[in-house]
A and B are shown apart, each in its own frame.
Chain A
Amino acid sequence: MYRLIMTHEARTLARTGSLWAILALLVAAIGFAAWSGARAVDRQVRAATDAATYEDGERARMRAETEAYAARVAASGGAYEFATVRHSPGEGPPQGTNAGAVGAETSVWIALPPTGLAALAIGQSDIQLNYLPVKMGTTLEMVKNLEIENPVSLQAGAFDIAFVIIFLLPIFILAITYDLLSSERERGTLAMILAHPVSLRALLASKIAARAGIVLAVALGLGLLALLAVGTALDAGETWARFAVWCVATVLYSAFWFALAVLVNVHGRGGSATNGTILAGAWLVLVVIVPTLVSLVATTVYPAPSRMDLVVAARDAQTAGELQMQQSLDRFYSDHLDYVPVGDQRAMDFLTLSQANAANIEKQLLPLYAEFREQMHRQQALVRRFQYFSPAIMMQLALNEASGTSAERYEDFLDQAFRFRTQWNDWFASRFLRREALRPADYDRFPRFEYAPEPLPAALGRAAPSLAGLLVALLVVAAIPAGGLRRYEVAAR
């Protein structure tokens, strides 16, 4: 019986123009979203490469100079010496022999690679700088830059596949389900159908199954096509595990909207137009109003720390550090006796000073920045709890995690970047302060950054509460109609 109704429903649906119009819109929207998502990821990756290529070129130039110098020295039989820092061309050993000049005046760019699904949900990746310059200097300097993009577009947000799934798919679902029973009742066909040996429950279930089957097959099929078209790392198991999360979330989320349409159809007292109004209102409340309200309440109750305050505090620390410059230099050398240049107790050049100064400022700044970050993490953890008020928020967070564009994955990258900065700084500072001349071969020994991908379970663990929340929302909404079904009036009064 179910099969019969379902095939009948599917056939009827296939003949209505509106279904095809809606599916065509869905195809167009996902196609456009895949195109713009791929462009966004491509832009990030290209920028990371451009930045790295430029700075690597700078170091390659310095290395070439040291090679020429080494050849000159070998030919003339002189000593291979350490250059003092200067900012204009001059005589003597090239700047590339000075570890301070290499480590402080060129950066090595380290990048957070996009996951295979990055183009499907842009998430926070459009405002995060996914590649960072590492050099000697302070931690704050490393993270001060922003990814740049037109603020008008940032404010509107990306047109990515996550947007299509979260915002548009529910509209499409509601458009083909809002009059599921009410239209048959209004036409008078419902009573006729039920005169046959069919229960209302079976009829409803078949109608929903036919529609859900079509919508989900199309949505997931298009998702798969999009992944094949604009995804990367398609041979990695991780990509497919992430896509599985993506599919589960999409199924749960779509099912929620189908269940909501059933709920309104079964309990709605009015006709199709009233059902339509109620469902459009529900969409508005759950997808637009609740998320903005939640964000408003959360940021008012748990405000994010202000960057402006951090700037002022950082400058206070800097001034304090500079005012103690003379003492700090003494302290620096007394902490690092092995670094005091032989026969040159008071040797100061610009870089030694700035090294001492940066170390001093860093010591004062780090606690400030740590506190800032901690406050931000606390705020974001609290705000995450508000996600259960709206399936749209849960869905967005789940998709961000599945696509690796969440704030949390970025924070993990930041931690790795900070550890690498220390390593890079120490490598160059120790050689510079010992006045150890860099030789061409040393250029192959610079510390290298190897991004340690966040273990997949960590991302899944963060997505799990959102998925669980979606499941609970679905079960609650799906459980309510059961009672109302028995009291449903099949004929319009």
Chain B
Amino acid sequence: MITTIARKEFAEIVRDGRFRWTAALVVLLLVTALLAGWQRYAAYSAVQAAAQGATNEQWLKQGDKNPHTAAHYGNYAFKPLGPLAFFDSGITSYAGTAVFMEAHKQNFAIGRPANDTSSIARFGELNGAMILQVLLPLLIVFLGFTAFAAERESGTLRQVLSTGVSRGSLLWGKALGLGAAVAVVVVPCLLVGGAVIAAAGLETAEEGMAARTALVALAYLLYAATFLFLTLAVSAWARNARAALMVMVGFWAFTAFIMPKAAGELAKAAHPSPAFGTFMAEMKAHQRRGIDGVSPFAKLGRYQGQLFRQYKVSRVEDLPLYWTAVRMQKLEEIDQPVFDLHYGKVRDTYLAQRRLQDRIGVVAPTLPLRSISMGLAGTDLVQQSRFMADAEAFRHDMVFKMNDYLSKAAVDLNGVNSASRFMIANEEVFAIVPPFRYEPPAFADVLAEQVPNFALLGAWLAAAVGLAVLATRRMDLEAR
């Protein structure tokens, strides 16, 4: 029985003029978005790889100089993207793409693509994820809002039920038919996307690509099914078809447009994050007075005394280490907790904001879906923080290696203060710093972050199905 109803529903939807137009639009946009996303991903990755290669080379070929000066020259880390970024570019345009790694200072990422593109780009980026998050639900609403309401208006609803069909099988049959009509539009496009991944040989490019893709697909399926059952519920419950349409379009605008922005504002109010000027002023003041209220210079004085006692000497000239280098390294270690505290606070605030936005998903299913999609595509905050952490670890190691080398190689310069006598190192010394490598977070960690979001989407679907069952059980058979 259910399949018969499904077949009838499917045939009816597909024959309707609405289907042709909306389906054509969605297919056209989805294919365009996937191809454009692919082009953008390929272009970005080429530039990123070339830039990283070039700055690594520049580090080595920076010219003979003092190792500490070399650490000042530093290096850049450029953020690589995982292959699924072509489907969901996430925060890529709004996060920095490059980190300058230098002695004495931790830096924020710079080179945010959105700053260099026209303000028209603020309307959003056309990518596969955007189509599936925004247009797919509307397609479902457009194809499904008449499901019960139109039958009621034309009087066929009573007739159908009088033949002995249960309300339950009518609901499931209609759901199946509507689902099939949507699938006919979307699935071929996604196969094209999958073919692109396979053709480019990317299915093994990142850890757990197959599982990632499957989970992303599952999340979108839960989301689409939620909209499908909500549409059927509203169609059964509403007074007429146009009321059903109004309610569903309203809900769609609410979840897809209003809530992502509103949740952002609410999260910023709940967990305020400092602006650049405030951040810098607070951090520098903290750096000056010392993490624990003891000034860095007082700490350095104490440290020198400690070294003198350790080596049983009474003046810098007798130290077995080059004091200037030891002192600079000590200064790094004194500053590091201040950096970690302040940059860490910003990172934690962003993550707390993101989590709150996900929780607001209780009223808007687009929010948890957005997080799952970005998270699994590797274009999320988690990956950005990981990139920043890797860059900071690299900076720390680079500065340490240069200072450490200098402290051992220039012992004879202790106490010498001259512009003409200082240690000069060459490429061989610079090569003790291995090139920067970004290690994406483990798949299991990414997934763990998204478990609550999957639970939220699951709850949404359960609620939508429950509503649909309830609404069909109680629906009026005749127009009021």
Pairing of A with B: yes
Which residue from chain B places its CB closest to the CB of A44 in the assembled complex? B275
0/1 interface trace, chain B 259-302, chain A, CB 8 Å (1 if under): 01111110111001111111111101100000000000100100
Contact indicator A280/B273 (Cβ below 8 Å): no
The interface residues of chain A, by DSSP majority, are classed as helix
Contact indicator A319/B381 (Cβ below 8 Å): no
CB distance from A380 to the nearest CB of B (A): 5
User: Bound complex: CA of A46 vs CA of B272, how far in Å?
Assistant: 13
User: Bound complex: CA of A147 vs CA of B277, how far in Å?
Assistant: 8
Contact indicator B268/A150 (Cβ below 8 Å): yes
* Known contacts A158-B265, A288-B123, A300-B39; is-contact A273 B241 (Cβ 8 Å): yes
In the complex, the 4 A-B pairs of residues with the closest C-beta atoms, listed nearest first: A51-B277, A47-B277, A47-B275, A291-B123
Q: A293: which B residues are within 8 A, CB to CB? A: 32, 126
User: Bound complex: CA of A355 vs CA of B130, how far in Å?
Assistant: 49
In the complex, given contacts A299-B121, A311-B51, what are 4 additional A-B residue pairs having Cβ atoms less than 8 angstroms apart?
A303-B43, A306-B47, A312-B58, A322-B65
B119 lies within 8 A of chain A by Cβ: yes
* Known contacts A128-B115, A175-B246; is-contact A393 B260 (Cβ 8 Å): no
Q: B73: which A residues are within 8 A, CB to CB? A: 318, 322
Which residue from chain B places its CB closest to the CB of A382 in the assembled complex? B118
Q: B120: which A residues are within 8 A, CB to CB? A: 291, 294-295, 298, 383, 386-387, 393, 396-397
User: Bound complex: CA of A51 vs CA of B282, how far in Å?
Assistant: 9
**A287-323 with Cβ < 8 A to chain B:** 288-289, 291-296, 298-300, 303-309, 311-312, 315-316, 318-319, 322-323
**Stretch of A163-171, A198-206, A233-241, A430-438 with 4 or more beta carbons under 8 angstroms from chain B:** A163-171
**A304-351 with Cβ < 8 A to chain B:** 304-309, 311-312, 315-316, 318-319, 322-323, 348-349
Contact indicator B276/A129 (Cβ below 8 Å): yes
Q: How many of chain B's residues have a CB under 8 angstroms from any CB in A?
A: 102
CB distance from B18 to the nearest CB of A (A): 6
Contact indicator B275/A277 (Cβ below 8 Å): no
- Quick one: which of B116, B279, B349 contacts A305, CB cutoff 8 A? B116
Q: A158: which B residues are within 8 A, CB to CB? A: 261, 264-265
List the interface of chain B (C-beta within 8 A of A): 18, 21-22, 25, 29, 32, 36, 39, 43, 47-48, 50-51, 54-55, 58, 61-63, 65, 73, 76, 78, 90-91, 93-98, 100, 108-126, 130, 134-135, 138, 142, 145-146, 150, 240-242, 245-246, 249-250, 253, 257-258, 260-265, 267-269, 272-282, 284-285, 297, 300, 346, 349-350, 353-354, 357, 381, 384, 419
Q: B279: which A residues are within 8 A, CB to CB? A: 47, 148
Contact indicator B257/A167 (Cβ below 8 Å): yes
The interface residues of chain B, by DSSP majority, are classed as helix
Contact indicator A127/B112 (Cβ below 8 Å): yes
User: Bound complex: CA of A54 vs CA of B285, how far in Å?
Assistant: 8
Contact indicator A156/B261 (Cβ below 8 Å): yes
- Quick one: which of A144, A157, A280, A396 contacts B249, CB cutoff 8 A? A280
CB distance from B384 to the nearest CB of A (A): 7
User: Bound complex: CA of A44 vs CA of B109, how far in Å?
Assistant: 19
* Known contacts A151-B91, A393-B120; is-contact A277 B276 (Cβ 8 Å): no
Q: B96: which A residues are within 8 A, CB to CB? A: 146
Q: A36: which B residues are within 8 A, CB to CB? A: 265, 268-269
A232 lies within 8 A of chain B by Cβ: no
Of the A-B pairs whose beta carbons lie under 8 Å apart in the complex, a sample of 29, sorted by A's number, is A43-B275, A47-B275, A109-B277, A127-B94, A127-B115, A150-B268, A151-B350, A157-B122, A159-B262, A167-B253, A272-B242, A273-B240, A281-B142, A288-B124, A289-B25, A291-B120, A291-B124, A296-B126, A298-B118, A304-B116, A307-B98, A311-B111, A312-B51, A316-B58, A322-B62, A349-B419, A393-B123, A400-B119, A406-B119
A223 lies within 8 A of chain B by Cβ: no
**A383-418 with Cβ < 8 A to chain B:** 383-384, 386-387, 392-393, 396-397, 400, 406-407
Contact indicator A147/B350 (Cβ below 8 Å): no
Contact indicator A148/B260 (Cβ below 8 Å): no
Contact indicator B119/A396 (Cβ below 8 Å): yes
A17 lies within 8 A of chain B by Cβ: no
0/1 interface trace, chain A 7-50, chain B, CB 8 Å (1 if under): 00000000000000000000001001000100100011011111
Contact indicator A276/B249 (Cβ below 8 Å): yes
* Known contacts A46-B278, A292-B123, A308-B48; is-contact A151 B297 (Cβ 8 Å): no
0/1 interface trace, chain A 124-162, chain B, CB 8 Å (1 if under): 100111010000000000001111111111111111000
Contact indicator A315/B55 (Cβ below 8 Å): yes
CB distance from B250 to the nearest CB of A (A): 8
User: Bound complex: CA of A376 vs CA of B115, how far in Å?
Assistant: 10
* Known contacts A146-B110, A295-B126, A308-B47; is-contact A153 B353 (Cβ 8 Å): yes
User: Bound complex: CA of A158 vs CA of B263, how far in Å?
Assistant: 10
Q: B134: which A residues are within 8 A, CB to CB? A: 288
CB distance from A359 to the nearest CB of B (A): 18
User: Bound complex: CA of A152 vs CA of B43, how far in Å?
Assistant: 23
- Quick one: which of A50, A144, A384 contacts B278, CB cutoff 8 A? A50
Q: B126: which A residues are within 8 A, CB to CB? A: 289, 292-293, 295-296
CB distance from B295 to the nearest CB of A (A): 10
